[in-house]
Structure 1
């Protein structure tokens, strides 16, 4: 085939086991506690998590096929892989009801069910210029996958991602949905004074309309939630658990990276960009810093533009002690996590060998680099690259004060003698 220099087809498969438990699961389940009293020090133990004698290894089975192609006198190299990865007997914390009273005790780990990932990975390398004094090489990578929970140990069970000492449920996972999907109400603006005085405010999550701005209940400036369903599957004029739905996925539609390497005589320059598109982030930190529901938490200055009697055009709800619905889990705090980051820029200079030899060195390279230089994103938090809270897949992309990736600058010399 004209222009085709190399072609290789690949196919493979395999299975591996995993016994690593989720982060935060103490081993052993009892933790020693040393106390001091009138009789001196005394050893003791307290329960940290509930054991599970029926626990089995998690297994991951992977099948993949790929192709390696080289074109146009090795000026273009392409690697393409498709895969399917199935995880069975997933090791996860169970979702248990609050009435069990576990509090700070971790719920038991169990083999929760089966999950699959199907995806495609693409890498393209091009040798754009190859002259005596100048070379330019480009590498592009692209990755897309689809995640879905196939089954759970019980047809009526679900996996919930909870934070804040297991008191706030942020994600809800059921078969057929991506793992760690955000789950809450859909907001529809704010109630107006005309709604409040005209008796147009419905019951929202068991909270009725208030009599006035200072009484318990929903009033002008509070969040209006969409009525999307009811017991009969249609909107019924009130807001309740039938109106809670999936409000975003933490999984990106695709990720990508682009690297360009230039070399001109003794100088070299490298630029690496990386990005992600389509993932959602639940900004729990903003929920805390824009909650305006008590007098004892510091708030962002954005709350100065909240709803008041003289600022009825605001999009941020009013300050109130009497309506916790304003800070309930909803799409109010779900943000676009797409980003493009200048991950690395480095520039170097190779000192000519005749000069290096005068200093009794064979090679000398002077370089400077910048890491995490700038990120283009609409996300309002510190860093859209979050990962999984507590390394748990049911708590991905929950920003609960995630420490951002640092920006660093480096200057150095590599010398060989």
Structure 2
């Protein structure tokens, strides 16, 4: 099997000479189980090797990102215009070349089946806002700043465990990836409140900042790490270093379906291992009460007397003792979540006939029922990116996903 495609896409969001991008794709597959040496196998009934290569483009920027813009302004009761955005005539598509190699398999008449995929992605011309000196009159400019590689493995396993009157089918999937910035035309650093940066040879969005080292038992000062590994109570003297990685080690899901006579039960779970989260809300709700935010309970363990051993600095009025951005609020974002549970009963045909109905189903469903995590924020499933897409894993009072329970009945007449 062989297939292919060729696209030419255009977007007015890019510079005059960079509006169009070409994106070819090709795929091939070989059903090995159809070959003579496997066709009559009683164990392995399906085996397919497949591969693909394709190029895609990203144009998810503002409609006028490549243009210099002006906005209405007033001065001394006179109307006028002032520049609001600096343009770039060379702004172009962010392109990704991806190679996939996969294997599909099925055993025992497909009672056990699955997929294994290995992929490599090379992204060129990453589109990001780059900070500029404020003396230019602009805070940032949208540019193609660099390249990145992304390599990963995905595995899916499906099984029909019981197939009699009581049925149980299960599906499990797990994925892992590693990315690395390979080229950077301009530095992309964090802002006053964020930790995400881009650096050649490092993962995308890796956290950089000062490492929090606890509390000085003698005086209650917050401590940070120096370049030689020793501690200091001076935030400005502390070394800027890697303090976290928002990219997870692996993630996946586990789904189960049970049925017995008219009863059905579906359980969907998801999990993430690794992936640090910077809980920015900690600067407001886990400090010395400088702000009006309600404080977390751990603040009751603050330093009181010389010799106290704690990781909560002494609260000080108008004194930023441990309140600066640091690894103090970088936490492990691992979690296991029971995403949904659905339980239903399909009314028997005898009762349907008696009440002259085509179908009837009574059900109870629950979403986001339980989450097991050590993360202290509202929800470890942080999808927002705070300021820009460099700042992965940044959580600033992200509202948690609602836990919902629904009871209902579906009737067909």
The two structures have a TM-score, normalised by structure 2, of 0.81
Does the 8 Å CA contact 2:145/2:184 hold for their aligned counterparts? yes
Q: Once the two structures are superposed, what CA deviation does each residue of 1:240-292 show, in whole Å capped at 9, x if it has no partner?
A: 66722111100100002111100000000011110100110011101221232
Q: 1:59 to 1:110 in 2, by over 3 A?
A: same
Match of 1:144 in 2: 176
Tell me which stretches of 4 or more aligned residues in structure 1 moved more than 4 Å.
25-35, 42-48, 234-242, 295-298
Q: How does 1:386-405 map to 2 (within 5 A)?
A: 386-390=382-386, 392-405=388-401
Measured after TM superposition, the shift of residue 148 of structure 1 is 1.2
2:343 aligns with 347
Cα deviation, residue 130, structure 1:
0.3
1:259 aligned onto 2:227: no
Q: Which residue of 2 aligns with 1:108?
A: 141
For the 8 Å contact 2:67–2:88, the answer to whether it is kept is no
Q: Distance in 2 between matches of 1:79 and 1:304?
A: 51
Please point out which of 193, 201, 205 is paired with 1:168: 193
- Relative to structure 1, the CA distance from residue 293 to residue 407 in structure 2 (aligned partners, 3 Å threshold; closer, same or farther) is closer
How far 1:46 sits from its partner (Å)?
A: 5.6
- How do residues 17-36 of structure 1 correspond to structure 2 at under 5 angstroms? 17-21=57-61, 30=69
Change (3 A) 1:288 1:100: farther
Matches within 5 A, 1:220-231: 220-229=219-228
Match of 2:52 in 1: 12
Which residue is equivalent to 2:210? 185
C-alpha offsets along residues 326-366 of structure 1, whole Å, 9 cap, x if unaligned?
Answer: 12222111101000001000001111123223444322221
1:357-415 superposed Cα distances (whole Å, 9 cap, x missing partner): 34443222211100000100000000000024248331111111111111111122233
Could you list the per-position Cα deviations for residues 220-257 of structure 1 after superposition, in whole angstroms to 9, with x for gaps in the alignment? 2112222234xxxx979998667221111001000021
| Contact 1:22–1:93 (CA under 8 A) maintained in structure 2 | no
- Between 394-403 and 105-114, report the one with greater CA deviation: 105-114
Partner of residue 373 from structure 1, selected from 363, 369, 372: 369
Q: How does 1:300-339 map to 2 (within 5 A)?
A: 300-309=296-305, 312-321=308-317, 324=320, 326-339=322-335
2:104 is equivalent to residue 68 of structure 1:
yes
Structure 1 Cα separation of the partners of residues 273 and 96 of structure 2: 27
SS in 1 for 2:49: strand
The residue aligned with 2:155 is 122
Q: CA RMSD in A?
A: 3.0
* Secondary structure in structure 2 of the residue aligned to 1:389: coil
1:279 to 2:270 alignment: no
Contact 2:181 2:204 (8 Å CA) reproduced: yes
Quick check: which one's helix share is greater?
1
Distance 1:150 1:410, change over 3 A: same
- Name the SS of the counterpart of 1:159 in structure 2: coil
> Quick one: distance in 1 between partners of 2:307 and 2:116?
55
Name the SS of the counterpart of 1:172 in structure 2.
Answer: coil
Cα distance change of structure 1 residues 62 and 272 upon mapping to structure 2, 3 Å threshold: same
The whole-number CA distance in structure 2 between the counterparts of 1:391 and 1:71 is 48
> How far did residue 173 of structure 1 move?
1.8
Secondary structure in structure 2 of the residue aligned to 1:70: strand
Q: Which has the higher contact order (CA 8 A, sep 6+)?
A: 1
Q: 1:129–1:225: structure 2 CA closer, same or farther, 3 Å change rule? A: same
Query: C-alpha separation between the residues in 2 aligned to 1:13 and 1:295?
Result: 53
1:85 aligns with 2:116: no
C-alpha contact 1:115 1:149 (8 A) present in aligned 2: yes
Give distance in 2, aligned partners of 1:189 and 1:161: 23
| Alignment of 1:54 onto 2:90 | yes
> Are 1:160 and 1:169, in contact at CA under 8 Å, matched by a contact in 2?
no
Note the C-alpha offset of 1:320: 2.6
Count of equivalent residues: 372
Q: Distance in 2 between matches of 1:74 and 1:51?
A: 56
Segments of 5+ residues of structure 2 without an aligned counterpart are: 1-40
